[in-house]
Amino acid sequence: MAALPVDAISELSNLHPKPEHIHFQYGTAGFRTLGSTLDSVLFRVGILAALRSKKLDGKVIGVMVTASHNPEPDNGVKLVDPRGEMLENSWEAHATHVAAAPTTAALIESLSHLVKHAKIDLSKPARVVYARDTRPSGASLVKALEDGLKAMGAETRDAGVTTTPILHYLVRCMNTKGTKEEYGDDSEEGYMAKLSGAFKKLVTGKSALPPLIIDCANGVGALAATVLASHLGETLHIITLNDSTTTPGALNNACGADYVKTTQRLPPSLASYIQPGQRACSLDGDADRLMYYYADERGVFHMLDGDKIAALVAAFIVELVKGAGLEGEINVGVVQTAYANGASTKYLSERLPVKCVPTGVKHLHHAAEHYDVGVYFEANGHGTVLFSPETQERLSSHSPQTPAQSTAINHLLNLISLINQTVGDALSDMLLVETVLAHKSYTAVEWDSLYADMPNRLVKVVVKDRNIFKTEDAERRLVSPVGLQGKIDELVRRYEGGRSFVRPSGTEDVVRVYAEAVVKTQADELAFRVAGLVYDETGGDPAKRPKEFI
């Protein structure tokens, strides 16, 4: 039995000491905090990635260095499992434990414990592919990661500066190469060719859509979108804006998908470009989230968020399945979280099965795997569509009875190539939306009119200890603090169409309060009243009580 390379780990670990007094936690978004504090974490993630690969018999593991939609000084790191999906749950705790070791000696002990506990055969090879976004802190963090990988003697591939979904794609391609599940050529070029090739087939014979503006959040999506645009050529006219990837402080600043979703506004930098009714979209800093929107003739902003994307796409796939003569044989379902707009849930539930799961992509992804075709989107624009292996097989082997059925089946097969099934992917999702708009001859206004969003408000409450908040029913109800849910229910009853829920954030040290009502001012009032309840309940200082908490 091979042993841990203790000497190499110790020597290199001493170059990457853990800062005192910082508690690193592997949460829903991996490790994420100020980039300048993450050196030790990256070194250790290198070791963890190698161990995870050994545990899985030398399968390729991915490491992505990004802090997504967070501001530029932040950074983070996530591990990607062999099929391109998020790291298995049980390893999140291992990662937290390894990152917490205060000294090199404690690190060795933590790693030894992990090897024993997870029964890792150290004689197996370790293979890791990694990438980073455009953040200035990325390059030096990658060096720390490389030291961790070197300590373990891992076989590595540097995928350079690229998007999170491309890294996930590469992992899946590398692990399926030469098998019957081969996912594509394991290069950025292969990704671009796969997506653009499928898109071109899907829109053949359809009228070209008017130009699409993409707000690239001044992040890595700008690089990928530019390459994609050249692959698409005449098929889709793309105008990329906010592509200043080297301007300090520009990343996600007053632009990007999160800015649009949270402020419910047009990025100011787009104002002079966008024409009334013209559709535009925003990527986030690592290009895995997508928000569409338009401004109408009166300049009023209309958001087409993850829920609207889910509604558009799910209805289209249901139609194709029917068209293919496979209704009742291939079941399409949707997965959402409690943050999905109530109007979207109503619209979708009237048409197909809808499941609500706790926040976090891993929950959505796993629930979507239970359908033949599972459409999942978070309201914030992160999502994708999963086709089960059996469904893919059935579509490839089905003999159509009519030319119309044959066309529908071909469309479904091309959608399978177009959609990045490993993880939410802004560029792949964008082409998916564009495909549906082209097929339905929809403008943004027509798409928007599928249903009218319920007015809503999302509020953060800073509390002493968010861990006292415990939820049930896919986070829609609080079980702790005891009695608080009853008070919330009582408030909600007083608002027409009222809905509100409270949950601790998994990525920030806050409690989030969401509220909906038929009228916007009422949704705001309900959110602030519930926030007030939360604040008082947790012993917030009455002198510092935010004044909008009524």
**Is residue 284 part of an annotated ligand binding site?**
yes
| 158 vs 508 by CB, closer to ligand NG1 | 508
Owner of token pair 């006219």: 237
Q: Does 359 bind ligand NG1 (CB under 6 A)?
A: yes
Which one among 136, 190, 506, 546 touches ligand NG1, defined by CB under 6 A? 506
| 258 vs 448 by CB, closer to Zn ion | 258
Residue with the CB atom nearest Zn ion in the bound state: 68
- Give the one entry of ligand NG1, Zn ion, none that residue 499 binds, where binding means its C-beta sits below a cut-off of 5 to 8 angstroms depending on kind: none
Which one among 183, 191, 292, 339 touches ligand NG1, defined by CB under 6 A? 339
Cβ atoms of 373 and 332 within 8 Å: the answer is yes
Which one among 445, 507, 536, 546 touches ligand NG1, defined by CB under 6 A? 507
| 316 vs 535 by CB, closer to ligand NG1 | 535
Strands 470-472 and 477-480, bridge-based pairing: antiparallel
Half-sphere exposure of 252 (CA within 13 A, CB side): 23
Q: What are the tokens at 421? A: 């099934």
**Is residue 420 part of an annotated ligand binding site?**
no
Query: Nearest approach, Cβ of 268 to Zn ion (angstroms)?
Result: 21
Q: In a 3-state reduction of DSSP, which class is residue 74?
A: strand
Query: Nearest approach, Cβ of 474 to ligand NG1 (angstroms)?
Result: 13
Query: Nearest approach, Cβ of 532 to ligand NG1 (angstroms)?
Result: 20
Owner of token pair 């194709």: 320
**Is residue 406 part of an annotated ligand binding site?**
no
Q: Which amino acid is at 543?
A: A
Q: What is the CA radius of gyration of the chain?
A: 24
- Give the one entry of ligand NG1, Zn ion, none that residue 508 binds, where binding means its C-beta sits below a cut-off of 5 to 8 angstroms depending on kind: ligand NG1
| 282 vs 345 by CB, closer to Zn ion | 282
Q: Does 508 bind ligand NG1 (CB under 6 A)?
A: yes
**Is residue 218 part of an annotated ligand binding site?**
no
Total residues at interface with ligand NG1 (CB under 6 A): 12
Q: Does 362 bind ligand NG1 (CB under 6 A)?
A: no
| 288 vs 475 by CB, closer to Zn ion | 288
d(CA 380, CA 222): 20
Burial class, 264, CB count within 10 angstroms (exposed 0-12 / middle 13-18 / buried 19+): middle
Q: What is the 3-state secondary structure (H, E, C) of 94-109?
A: HHHHHHHCCCHHHHHH
**Is residue 524 part of an annotated ligand binding site?**
no
Which one among 122, 505, 536, 546 touches ligand NG1, defined by CB under 6 A? 505
Q: Does 286 bind Zn ion (CB under 5 A)?
A: yes
Which residues are within 8 A (CB) of 187 and not within 5 positions of it... i.e. 6 or more apart?
Answer: 170
41-49, 241-249, 286-294, 322-330 -> range binding Zn ion (CB under 5 A): 286-294
Q: How many CB atoms lie within 10 A of CB 393?
A: 12
d(CA 258, CA 283): 8
Q: Does 163 bind ligand NG1 (CB under 6 A)?
A: no
Task: Kindly provide the b/e burial profile for residues 483-492, where b requires at least 16 CB atoms within 10 angstroms of the residue's own CB.
Answer: ebbebbeebb
What ranges in 78-216 are assigned the alpha helix state H? Answer: 89-100, 104-117, 138-151, 164-176, 188-203
Q: What CA–CA distances, in Å, run from 55 to 2, 81, 339, 404, 412?
A: 13, 11, 36, 48, 36
Query: Nearest approach, Cβ of 401 to ligand NG1 (angstroms)?
Result: 43
| 504 vs 540 by CB, closer to ligand NG1 | 504
Owner of token pair 């049930």: 472
Query: Nearest approach, Cβ of 505 to ligand NG1 (angstroms)?
Result: 3
156-164, 279-287, 448-456, 507-515 -> range binding ligand NG1 (CB under 6 A): 507-515
Residues in 12-41 that interact with ligand NG1 by CB under 6 A = 28-29
- Give the one entry of ligand NG1, Zn ion, none that residue 378 binds, where binding means its C-beta sits below a cut-off of 5 to 8 angstroms depending on kind: ligand NG1
- Give the one entry of Zn ion, ligand NG1, none that residue 339 binds, where binding means its C-beta sits below a cut-off of 5 to 8 angstroms depending on kind: ligand NG1
| 95 vs 290 by CB, closer to Zn ion | 290
Taking CB under 5 A as the rule, which mask of x and - marks residues 59-98 in contact with Zn ion? Answer: ---------x------------------------------
- For residue 400, say if its preceding peptide bond is cis, omega within 30 degrees of 0: no
Q: What are phi and psi of 23, to 5 degrees?
A: -100, 110
**Is residue 441 part of an annotated ligand binding site?**
no
- Give the one entry of Zn ion, ligand NG1, none that residue 365 binds, where binding means its C-beta sits below a cut-off of 5 to 8 angstroms depending on kind: none
d(CA 441, CA 424): 25
- Give the one entry of Zn ion, ligand NG1, none that residue 286 binds, where binding means its C-beta sits below a cut-off of 5 to 8 angstroms depending on kind: Zn ion
Cβ atoms of 456 and 514 within 8 Å: the answer is yes
| 167 vs 321 by CB, closer to Zn ion | 167
Catalogue the long-range contacts made by 51-54 (C-beta closer than 8 Å, 24 or more residues apart): 51/111, 51/114, 51/115, 51/118, 51/120, 51/126, 51/152, 52/79, 52/81, 52/87, 52/91, 53/124, 53/125, 53/126, 53/127, 53/128, 53/154, 54/120, 54/121, 54/122, 54/124, 54/125, 54/126
Cβ atoms of 128 and 63 within 8 Å: the answer is yes
| 256 vs 532 by CB, closer to Zn ion | 256
Dihedral sign for Cα atoms in the order 446, 231, 306, 390: positive
Residues noted as catalytic: 68
Largest CA-CA distance found in the chain, in angstroms, rounded:
73
Which one among 81, 288, 307, 434 touches Zn ion, defined by CB under 5 A? 288
**Is residue 504 part of an annotated ligand binding site?**
yes
Taking CB under 5 A as the rule, which mask of x and - marks residues 408-447 in contact with Zn ion? Answer: ----------------------------------------
Q: Which residues are annotated as a binding site?
A: 68, 284, 286, 288, 378-380, 503-507, 512
Residues interacting with Zn ion, by CB under 5 A?
A: 68, 284, 286, 288-289
The residues binding ligand NG1 (CB under 6 A) are: 28-29, 339, 359, 378, 380, 382, 505-508, 512
Q: Residues annotated as binding site for Mg(2+)?
A: 68, 284, 286, 288
